[in-house]
Structure 1
Amino acid sequence: MDLKLTGKKAILAGASKGIGRHTAEQFAAEGVDIAFCARDQASIDETITSLRRHGHAVHGASVDLADPTAYRDWVNEAAAALGGCDIFISFASAGGPPASEESWRNAFELDVMGTWRGIDAALPHLEKSDAAAIVVVATNVAIEPSFGPQPYAAMKAAITHHAGALAQKLAPQGIRVNTVSPGPIFIEGGAWDKIRQGRREFYDATVAKVPAGRLGNPQEVAAAIAFLASPVAGFVSGTNLVIDGAMTRRVQF
């Protein structure tokens, strides 16, 4: 299927690793010009080299997304470098460490404020696009707790709600907002890889909870994000696409 993404311009915050990196690769393969940021310069350089093999514009920068001024400045610089912005996605997350004062604060700053700040900075550029799309990255445990109380799930629930409200507000301006909520996704060197190596019993118990019988892979999430961000999904806005192999049990009315 032609997603009609060729020539579109995407700003991706935190996209040198994990689902963000796979999404950047998916977009690049679809002909999208990309500006992305991360913190580690070595991973930025490697990502730029990989993405440029597709033959489209790629701009990478080192940015601390916890720094509000630096984050907003980068979004504006990225839009200028690309000549506009059609797609904005923030992949930044504090992850799911045990609950503590520090982990709650970090989750709020990166997952909630990181998402809000990025969208707020990108909006003036998205308003000029004829195919504007925002994709918010949440998690299935935000809608159905599976691993106990944790800041990660609570903050993702907050941005899921915000995305739904934002979709209704921005629809008259032609800006679509959707959410993806992945379940457990296995990425080499990622969280579930480390859990498999260090807490095999917990890993196996989690796989057993997934009716599909396996964990997801990042390419499956990236493909879903590309679809939601594409003009092909032009009438899809305000939805939360759960990608978890039927792990979430409730009916999603």
Structure 2
Amino acid sequence: MDLHLKGKHFLITGGTRGIGRAIAETFADEGADVSLCARDDAAVQEAVASLQAKGVRAFGRALDVADEAALTAFVRDAAGHMGGLDGVVANTSAMASGTTAEDFEAAFRVDLMHTRAAAEAAIPHLERSGAGSIVAISSISGIEDYGYDGVSYGTMKAALFFYIKSLSRHVAARGIRANVVSPGTTLFPGGFWDKVRQEDPEGFAQNLAFNPMGRMATAEDIANVAVFLSSPRAGFVSGANVVVDGTATIRMQT
């Protein structure tokens, strides 16, 4: 299926590894230009070179997404460099799972507030696109309780649902859509579950068994959904939370 993304420009936060990198690569495979940011400059430059090797334009910058001024400037500069902006995927997470004030602050600043900052900075550009899209990467931890030690992470992931739903209604008349993708357990090299597999094989086996399909998601499983939602093929989908968990959650996805 042609997603009609060739020549369009999408921006991904946390785009150098894992789900964010898979999203960036999938956009490029569809012929879209890509801008990305992450904290490590060498990783940013490597990702940009990899995307350019696919025959698309790419732009990147090292920054901390918790720095709203830096993130806002990046969105502005990426749109200027590429001649516009057609979509944003807010992917970065602090992965702060705990009960302390510090855990909540980190999750708030990165998972929630960076999504707000990226969206607000992008909206004027997305409006000019005529087919703008915002996608926030949340988690099934925002819809089911998996333990009090993960409360800071789950709380902010849940907050994304309300923010994006409200945003979607406010920007609909401006030709912009906004959706959430909520991954289940996702396994990729160097990621959280890869570390659990190496450091706690028993715990990894227990969490693997949590998945009725007998496996965890790949980063590409999540990327395929995020990129589709960003495309004109999903042009009447907005305000949705799309759960990509291989039936791991028990609740009805309403």
| TM-score (norm: length of structure 1) | 0.97
Contact 2:98 2:104 in 1 (8 A): no
- Deviations, residues 97-144 of structure 1 (Å, cap 9, x unaligned): 332221110100001111001101111111101211100110011011
Structure 1 pair 107–77 and aligned structure 2 pair: CA distance change class (3 A): same
Contact 1:140 1:183 in 2 (8 A): yes
SS in 2 for 1:150: helix
Tell me which amino acid in the other structure corresponds to 2:143: I
SS in 2 for 1:37: strand
Q: How many percent of aligned residue pairs carry the same amino acid?
A: 41
- For 2:98 and 2:170, the matched residues in 1 are separated by 35
The equivalent residue for 2:103 is: 103
| Greater Cα offset, 231-240 or 145-154 | 145-154
The equivalent residue for 2:226 is: 225
Contact 1:96 1:150 in 2 (8 A): no
Provide structure 1 residue ranges, at least 5 long, that are not aligned to the other structure.
Answer: none
Contact 1:5 1:30 in 2 (8 A): yes
Contact 1:38 1:61 in 2 (8 A): yes
Root-mean-square deviation (CA), in Å?
1.1
| Greater Cα offset, 145-154 or 158-167 | 145-154
Within-5 A mapping of 1:1-253: 1-148=1-148, 149-253=150-254
Contact 1:181 1:240 in 2 (8 A): yes
Provide structure 2 residue ranges, at least 5 long, that are not aligned to the other structure.
Answer: none
- Deviations, residues 16-73 of structure 1 (Å, cap 9, x unaligned): 1110001000001101111111111111111011111111110111112121111111
| TM-score (norm: length of structure 2) | 0.97
| Greater Cα offset, 20-29 or 197-206 | 197-206
- For 1:16 and 1:215, the matched residues in 2 are separated by 21
Contact 1:87 1:134 in 2 (8 A): yes
Shift, 1:158, TM fit: 0.3
Contact 2:243 2:253 in 1 (8 A): no
Residue correspondences, number? 253
- For 1:135 and 1:76, the matched residues in 2 are separated by 18
Contact 1:183 1:244 in 2 (8 A): yes
Contact 1:184 1:192 in 2 (8 A): yes
- For 1:162 and 1:121, the matched residues in 2 are separated by 15
Shift, 1:169, TM fit: 1.4
